[in-house]
Amino acid sequence: MAVYQIRVFAIFYYILGHCVFINNIEATHQLYRNLQSVSSSSSSSNQPYRTAYHFQPPKNWINDPNGPMRYKGLYHLFYQYNPKGSVWGNIVWAHSVSNDLVNWTPLDLAIYPSQPSDINGCWSGSATILPNGKPAILYTGIDSNNQQVQNLALPKNASDPFLSEWVKNPKNPLMAPTTANKINSSLFRDPTTAWLGKDGYYRVLIGNQKETTGRALLYRSKDFVNWVEAKHPLYSAKGTGMWECPDFFPVLSKSMSGIDTSVNGPNVRHVLKVSLGSKLHDYYMIGSYDVKKDKFLPDTGLQSIESVSRYDYGKYYASKTFYDDAKKRRVLLGWVNESSSVADDIKKGWSGIHAIPRAIWLHKSGKQLVQWPVVEIERLRANPISWPIKVLKAGRHLQGTGVTAAQADVEVSFEAKEFEKAEVLENWMDPQVLCSKKGASVKGGLGPFGLLAFASKDLKEYTAVFFRIFKHQHKPLVLFCSDQSRSSLNNINDLTTYGTFLDADPYQKNLSLRSLIDHSVVESFGEGKAVITSRVYRTLAINDEAHLYAFNYGAADVKITRLNAWSMKKAQIN
């Protein structure tokens, strides 16, 4: 359950008229409770920012994806939802199903407060497919004493492919803070998918914080009901704060295929991902799992957080993966939170979407994961346009015509040659800061070049996704940015610029970019190695007034070796 820290500034702004910083989690909860049932007065016909093919409910608040799985031929997605309003509160597990991870049908609420162990909220958790083929859900409940505890729910009828009814275990809670285990009852949440060891014991992780140390607490069980805390966490790191929504899964070192969460052995590495409440980003570590000691040994630990990879360098949080046994892949889902104000969320009647599901696998270098939108999203492509090879002159931009610019999928590759014109970066700098200082409007040597999405005709508004090539220590260094500084004339919105350095060698290979553009979101994939998701609320570039450009504002020419774009059809979602 990952939301209250993300939106605290906006809520203070709405209630008090100015921003106040606060670290007190319980106080933040109280603020949300003041707003949790506020409804929208907006008409559904005036919704220019609602997405066409990203997952979101018809109205109200949504955050973390929960318990994703494939069962009896259907994909199941549960998610944190407020059925009463467009701000966080009244949290339940809503439920939708799909044949293809693109089109979704809503079902009745799956898990909602009904026991003393969850009477104050049903927070995030995960699904596990047991050896008998039946699913089990572990989730965090907020009990009658406002403690965070872990509960179990099983399907009432396992032969029902829709899993439309869930029954809670009468022994709930199965894991709880006690005087003996000295666990803070407000920092104990978000169980992972469980995995089964060769010793016959299930293992599950719970996110936790002790003093300043973030921890992935490990619990074991023989029967999935009686759980015992291990003597030590699977992994911990001082100074990292609360670990929300942990995820732990294996990846193959020599294949793009996914594997079941319980698989281990030769050519298998493990990934531990945590959502850091202090940073509001999802970080993942690749390493080894010592099954004898039940310890995770990362190649790079969270103590060196600047060197730890993120799933996404924009707005993306509380992610979760599952193994898709039909297509032998691991699929990643994540929550994309807002850049609009709480007041605007209430006015429009909804808040939050989910990113397009991504297939993920270990890069052949073994140093990072590769992410790519699931192939099923390509079924929505229509009216393709394709450019011949074009030289994009320095200081120029070219309009992409024939594509619905507010609802598109764009793939483009750039070839750079004049490396002698690349700017020299003498000292290493935080890439997000560098993207802010050298945004799309700042002319450079080799770059910036990329796409202007959601651009108004006069270019007063645009969201620029681009590359800029530097020389650093006599080697090329590729900066990958999403510049939102001019994305809206509404300055109340979050106009943060995002960025990262991209592990790519433009001497050897063209730089590729894919952007999924959908009314208020731009998901951009740089080489599949880095992803930046932006939320954009324009005032001018809305619907038919939105335009798409390829641009090059550097001093050197670049060549567009490939540009394919499609207008995207609307998915059937909820």
Cβ-proximal residues to 218 (8 Å cutoff; 6+ apart), any chain: 203, 204, 205, 229, 230, 232, 233, 234, 294
CB distance 251 to 268 below 8 Å: yes
Pairing mode, strands 407-416 and 511-518: antiparallel
**Whose structure tokens read 């980003």?**
281
What number of residues does the chain have?
Answer: 574
Q: Which residue has the tokens 């869930």?
A: 166
β-sheet bridge partners, residue 235: 216
DSSP character at residue 64: E
- Asked if 117 contacts 147 with a C-beta cutoff of 8 angstroms, the reply is no
Quote the CA–CA distance of 374 and 356 in Å, as a whole number: 8
Tokens 């993942």 label which residue?
284
Strands 60-71 vs 350-351: parallel, antiparallel or unpaired? parallel
- Give the single-character DSSP code of 554: B
Active site residues: 64, 143
**Largest separation between any pair of C-alpha atoms in the chain:** 70
Give the separation between CA 172 and CA 151, rounded to whole angstroms: 5
Distance CA 162, CA 158 (A): 9
The residues, any chain, with a CB within 8 Å of residue 147's CB and separated by 6 or more, are 176, 177, 185, 186, 188
The SS3 of residue 445 is coil
